[in-house]
Amino acid sequence: MQFLTVEEGLCVQMMHLGPFDEEPATVARMDRYLAENGYENDMTPKRLHHEIYLSDLRKVEPANRKTVLRHPIKTCACSAAAKQTQ
């Protein structure tokens, strides 16, 4: 285990309810939200996807697990270009 300080910056996050193998559907919803609102993922070696586990895996069935999914984001370059053409 390692403790570290993370400077989040701008992020999008969503609560995922269910087993870990169904997380891609939640990530797809996050990506749609970003695209619809002028943002894009900004994952780099220093800004990574991470998860916050709210459920005790020893006590909670997979279907009831709660996990916060968090991705770093930035304003989409396509959003700036769209504003210039208006």
Which CATH number goes with the domain that contains 21? 3.20.80.10
- Asked whether residue 69 is domain-assigned, the answer is yes
Instruction: Read off the pLDDT of residues 17-75 as tens digits, 9 standing for 90 and up.
Output: 999 999 999 999 999 999 999 999 999 988 889 999 999 999 999 999 999 999 999 99
| The pLDDT of residue 85 | 46
Question: φ, ψ for residue 4 (rounded to 5)?
Answer: -150, 160
- Asked whether residue 80 is domain-assigned, the answer is yes
- Asked whether residue 3 is domain-assigned, the answer is no
- pLDDT surpasses 60 at 86: no
Question: φ, ψ for residue 54 (rounded to 5)?
Answer: -95, -15
Segments forming the whole domain that contains residue 23? 11-84
- Asked whether residue 5 is domain-assigned, the answer is no
**Half-sphere exposure at residue 66, Cβ-oriented, CA atoms within 13 angstroms:** 3
- Asked whether residue 1 is domain-assigned, the answer is no
Query: How much is the pTM?
Result: 0.81
Number of domains in the chain: 1
- pLDDT surpasses 50 at 80: yes
Distances (CA, A) of 33 to 11, 56, 66, 71: 12, 29, 20, 12
